[in-house]
Structure 1
């Protein structure tokens, strides 16, 4: 008999089997038989011979109804009991999966063991238990778990995963015949998954079956074009077959997809050396050494975390190691796990928010900094970052509110002034922006950039004297303030004032950093001075740098017309 799905997982319980056998037998047995068995066979005789002492028909009917009700009550109780235990299985399984995501592999293994105590037929739990053991370097225990999964009824996907993992374990143990068998089984069960073909290719390489290995790797790549290991394997085969140019292409693609894979860097360097490309080989070896150092660092911190999985310091060090090589994705993942384990740590959320900002994940960054404020509502930098993020999303009213609060919390927080002023500019509130920059220049009188921005705002408000003063203060604060030189030169030339000084200022700006806009300013100054030859030559240089700028061509036309007169 095949039990209903809701009851199937409880067949292993001795009490459950006993209940089920007894009550299913009662429910499927005729009532007269039940009565005979219940009353030692006397009930049937009493009903046949009414003259003898026995149960009256009405009483017998009542007993019969009560017995049937008892049967149904017992079954209902058993179903409820099964439901409770099934919920416990689901709870332990979910707990194990959460622990796996957090890197708490010993805790995960314990959770999956609880699942298997409740339901020894749970093949998926054996697979996850195997993964938890493997990530603790308990490969023999992992192999046992995967073999248990294969001994149970399960979906092709579950069995396929078990075969893949066993192929990987046996490959690492040098048992290549066993690895090949499991990889082939995985391929047959998971024909649309890339990893079984990848594992099969790895085994074929070890067994010298290079043609078969190349086919397996090509199939893996066809199924998943982003599979860096597939390109790496194909590169190994090409190198072993002395197809060096093909090996270079495969290794380059592997590094493009997985920039931190040490072996790909090393193998590419060796391939370059064999091709006599010594400069490329040296460059690649330098990359290999850097990745090797990174790998050793991360391995050391992970070993520390195996011993102390909830410790904060090694996890922070691991994140910093990822950041040193620019592996932001792994750094974010590491900080996320740390934050889940230490939800009250402010630095974690600051670091996580900053990384989200770098990656352009603004919604996630906002959530991280809002968490900072939940922990400490006096954190000025969190308000600053939230203001910047909202401004980036063009939510300027919200940005202004956050930035004003940041300044209230810390009046020395210079970036908050810049952010607030520019948010006002975006809202068209230039006068308010001027007030903010004036406050900033009072706080930091030598901030050349603040004076420069203040001068530009005065120009737009047509407050020329104030603009001149601001640009002069910017130059006094920083003698290399190239935009201050350029803007002041333009201002003088446009008003026809201080033209010799305007020429010196514009020439200084071009000397500090030549670009089309500064050459245009210098050409305009020469034009206002009547030095048309110099003006024509200078605007020609600007056009060469920005040939599609129509304003420069208009300027050239004006200069030439003035030159003719």
Structure 2
């Protein structure tokens, strides 16, 4: 495991990047603080300081929309209020609007070059975007301004490690531990660096045991210790560590995979298979579980099952870095719209429409006017045969973005399947008005012609579609049906053979 969690600045589960807040909460009861701040604004609506403090309180209480509105009200009255720009950046970052968040943080720094919150915010965005040199620069400046801030030291270490500057990464991680010995993540990161990069895994184990002496109930530490012991060839000790992690959290997927891997090395095949199957049940897109299960089956001579699992591993592993990246973003901020949509898109590509739909629904709960999320949700519903809901979602997408040609095409497809041929024709025509070279929209009109009993017109449409995309399976299949309707069995059979050939070369397409 070579990736590291990223940290903003967390206390009591609340992320705080705002100027003046540092890593200290301003109240043990964020709800009470929010109520008091709201009352202060109601008592004096023109008091900008009160509005700013209300924005801070709303952010701390997780009321992001209220926070954004409050900071915006301050900035409309005083566009040079650096704290409100920092606050705006933090809210936008939490909402997954990274480009706008960067602009807000940069504006804050232009007004106040010593705004440590803005530097940290830019650093975190850069880490998420894998711009490690920029992240290093931002966190270096943040550390210059506030040297004794452990999370900034940690994230600076992450940036150095991603640039393969392991000596400096170790220095920053160790400094983070010196500043806060209870801080778990630097111990984990150091263990990974020592084991995976420096060949000093025993030092990694020592650090993890040191951390566990202080935090014996930290699941991450037990799981990481299991991984280190496994790397050192001590499978029995690895099993014990993973089992301790699972006693604390029975659905910790990485611990289950580690346990299954260690048990396989000890010849405990039944227990290993149970652990790995449970991991896959909990997270079917965790590739290592499929890989280890394939190896286990191979050891047992179950070659067909082993091959199937290896094929699943290879299919999922293509997306693993992206999946891990999106999940890292969501671990920091469960409301990151871009990450939710990105993860949903991968799940859809992997043939998991129900899981994809769940991600899009979460995104829309945060950003109900996001046309792409509505479109993608419609596609997930379509694949689940939830036609009415698919049509509603596609309609919402085109209502929000009338020029969204693909959404019009997919709306037409769903309407056609639902038997709404006239409505489907209108949708396909709208798509072609926006994108005349949209092969799938031409094919859709061909299908509408077939439904209306006009195979000759359908043939012309399918041929237009195939001139634009000769591999379009729906075009070849439609031609086969149209030729069949005219009694031309030779051409129909020819198109069916082409359809079958292309279908074998690519996944079956759906909106």
What is the TM-score with the length of structure 2 in the denominator? 0.45
Larger Rg: 1
Higher relative contact order structure (alpha carbons within 8 Å, sequence separation ≥ 6): 2
Structure with more of its chain in helix, by fraction: 1
